[in-house]
Structure 1
Amino acid sequence: MKVAFLANGPGEVWGWCRPLIKEAAGRNWTVDVHLLPCPFASGREINALSRLPATISRHRTTVGALRCFFSAAKYDAVLQLGGDLFFGRFLAWRQRVPLACYSYGYKKGMKRCEKVLTSRPGLFSSERLEIVGDLVLDSLEQGTPEGWRAPRGRRLAIFPGSRPNIRRKAFFFLKEIRSHLMKIDPEIELRVLLSPFSKESEARPWNENGFSVWTGTTPAGIQGADLALTQPGTNTLELMYCGQPFVVAVPFSFLRQMPIAGLVGMLDRIPWVGSALRERIIRKAIPRHIGKMSWPNRLVKGSFVPEFIGEYSASQLADEVARILRDPESLETQRKRLHELAAVVAPGAPAKICNILERMAADHERERK
């Protein structure tokens, strides 16, 4: 069986596409991965998938993707794992093959999909909706943990981001946070978990500035941590499934580095005033999303995971982190709620999705005959 997986940003590539490729390879399928144009891309998605048994194609423009789809080899099924469904619909229409999509939310064009797949009940409603489990849960590999130097109550895991421009700015911001935290408590250890989309050379400057660095799996890297500091994104789901208490931070000083889809994201192209105008629009829009920036908060429609969104300096954020580290009861309360949310989903999503694709392809072949 030959399938096309369509993906876009780092979260979909690492958390969704990777476990599916492994499952498909175990069934001796031929897999083509098409990386769609995406403002959230890290630029190293191909590197992240390079060791897996799949042919990876990156399309930087819509025209480039469509040109490739016109000449692509025949597929038995198409699965879209992120991005505009226009691409999946076009490829499936062009080849007259069935289309499925996997998503955490409703998307325009889902009515044209033979199957709409999602992770858990209650996220959205759609025709032909089937709950298959969370691919992020199946993407987590345990790995071998490494002990912390600091004692319990003083261990902070940090996720500086998957995109290089954000990591560069985060490096200097987190240096200030570390400096302030060390004044509060010299025994605190800050462990930076570098993204799988990072270059090997990035570890050195972190090490030289007093951070411990982890480049292995997320579960192993955070094992034993008291708290994690992260940005919004797929890693908030990883932390949830690991039962790791965390906080989300979006200081407004990072707004110009934040990737944004659509017309607002394109404002950067306007000379001189584009970036400032883009930042102004984001500042006005963000208050509506406070309390919804982490996936656990969105799932419960509440805000039990602390989110620090706004004009936070490094020292202010360090004070908040230190305060939470000194409150083991609130950390344990959050841990229990994370475990409750994680327990709703069982592993096995890749196998369920591949079974569905097989049935779709078989049904389509019977209809053709």
Structure 2
Amino acid sequence: MERIAITANGPGEIAGWVRPLLTRLFEAQPALEVHLFLVPDDYATGREAQTVAGWFPQVHVYEGKATLRALLGAGGGVPAKMDFVQYLGGDLMHAARLARRSGAAAATYKFSRPAYRELFVRAFAIDLRNVEELAKARVHRDRIVLTGNLAIDGALMEAELPAPSTAPRDGILILPGSRRYEVEQGIPFFFTVAAAIKRVRSDVEIAFGISPFTPMEDVRQAIAGGGHPRVYAMPGRFMVEGGQAYLTDRAETVRFAVLRNALPAAKQARMVITMPGTKTIELAALGKAMLAVTPLNVAEMLAINGPLTYLNRLPVIGERLKRAVVVAAARRFTYFTQPNMDAGRALIAELRGTLTPGRVATVALERFDDRAWLEDSAQALRSLYVEHAGAARRMARGILECAA
């Protein structure tokens, strides 16, 4: 029986990459021994290990100090020998270190560096552009395998689950995100957006899709806190009635269901309002029209890649410097969502910058009522990733071949 190790990091990679791959690996070999190492990540929620254990109780999951001990070869219950190491997120050095320590062959997905030219026996590519990116990173061309985007399979699998009865049928589903900033600031912000929509269109059904990585207690605290003053949001209440969670204003004049099964609910909705991230790829696979919103109102709170993410911790000038860096970086990008980047045009409507809930509500309703845009966007998004379906099965087959 093969023993496979996987390194991964935040919620997007765990849900979009790890989950569909593990599903296909265990489908092919139910007795497979899998060890998942959660590596340090500024975007992690802290609930990744618990969530994976709920999905796949047979997987050995390591985080924090346990992962560090494994990388340093300090034991801690981690097997000394692995048959194969697969990179699925985080810094490449963690997968490289684990492979060298355990004497295992290794493969990467989407990313590589010249230093690992000989280490990775296979490099799974998302698309043709990624094939060329891997080749520029000096991966041997005969080791690059065009596999597809795992997130597409993840979306298609999850969407097959039953939609909750409180899904917003022909309405709007709001996905505020799972990162700490998105929960603390996004939930009150989008709650205020939803309330503004309801004031002018009481007939529109609205619900919130909350990530499985976000504890409901965090949702309760976020809505009660009302967000940073520059988010221009209003506080509300988290309540549970008949086993169903809701967000309400303090007078209970509006009420929005809180759902865990976001993608089955999205299939029922006419449109989705979301933060940019892996979910935009998953929703694109379902052919769902979207408005992607990136508020930069408190840009100094955003996590960004690299050491500059800690700029705001500097005394006196730190927050100003961090805000300037984030805003300057945002201006360099034509699009914030991966589907728009891949298509080279705006299939998803995007809003960014210092935003008010009223402005977002107005744009959302304009898009919601634009039937031509909804249909064109849905069709173009659905066709964008159709060839990626089956990526998880192709990758699982490749891993098992290499590990045998």
How high is the TM-score relative to the length of structure 1?
0.89
Distance 1:19 1:13 in 2: 9
Structure 2 partner of 1:56: 61
Whether 1:357 and 2:373 are equivalent positions in the alignment is no
1:24 matched residue in structure 2? 25
Instruction: Provide the C-alpha distance between the structure 2 equivalents of 1:344 and 1:106, rounded to a whole number of angstroms.
Output: 23
In 1, Cα distance between the equivalents of 2:40 and 2:12?
Answer: 14
Q: Tell me if the contact between 2:272 and 2:288 (Cα under 8 Å) persists in the aligned partners.
A: yes
Question: What corresponds to 1:307 in structure 2?
Answer: 350
CA distance in 2, matches of 1:321, 1:239: 17
Instruction: Determine if contact 1:157/1:193 at 8 Å carries over to the other structure.
Output: yes
- Alignment match, 2:213: 197
For the pair 1:46 / 2:49, whether they are aligned, the reply is yes
Superposition deviation, residue 60 in structure 1: 6.3
How far apart are the structure 2 equivalents of 1:313 and 1:324? Answer: 17
Equivalent residues of 1:37, 1:61 under 8 A apart? no
Amino acid at match of 1:360: C
SS of alignment partner, residue 319 of structure 1: helix
Contact kept? 2:275, 2:294, Cα under 8 Å: yes
- Alpha-carbon shift at residue 252 of structure 1 (Å): 1.1
Please name the residue that 2:229 is paired with: none
- The alignment covers a number of residue pairs equal to 357
Unaligned runs of 5+ in 1: 363-369
2:186 matches 1:170 = yes
- What amino acid is the match of 1:267? L
| 1:14-163 aligned within 5 A | 14-26=15-27, 27=29, 28-51=31-54, 52=56, 53-59=58-64, 66-68=71-73, 72-73=78-79, 74-103=81-110, 107=113, 109=115, 111=117, 112-125=119-132, 126=135, 127=140, 128-140=143-155, 141=158, 142-146=160-164, 152=170, 155-163=171-179
For 1:344, the equivalent position in structure 2 comes to: 387
Q: 1:273 aligns with which of 306, 313, 317?
A: 317
RMSD: 2.4
Identity over the aligned pairs, expressed in percent?
A: 23
Question: Unaligned regions of 5+ residues in structure 2, if any?
Answer: 221-237, 240-245
1:186 aligns with one of 202, 208, 213:
202
Instruction: Please say if 1:259 is aligned against 2:259.
Output: no
2:3 alignment partner in structure 1: 2
Q: Distance in 1 between matches of 2:387 and 2:169?
A: 33
CA 1:98–1:307: 2 relative to 1, 3 Å? same
Q: Does 1:283 align with 2:363?
A: no
2:226 matched residue in structure 1 = none
Distance 1:233 1:108, change over 3 A: farther
Give the Å deviation of 1:75. Answer: 0.4
Per-residue deviation, residues 131-157 of structure 1 (Å, max 9, x unmatched): 1232212223211124568774xx111
The letter for the 1-side match of 2:62 is S
Alpha-carbon distance, 1:264 to partner: 1.0
Distance 1:246 1:36, change over 3 A: same
Displacement after TM superposition at 1:14 (Å)? 1.1
Bigger mean CA offset, 307-316 vs 20-29: 20-29
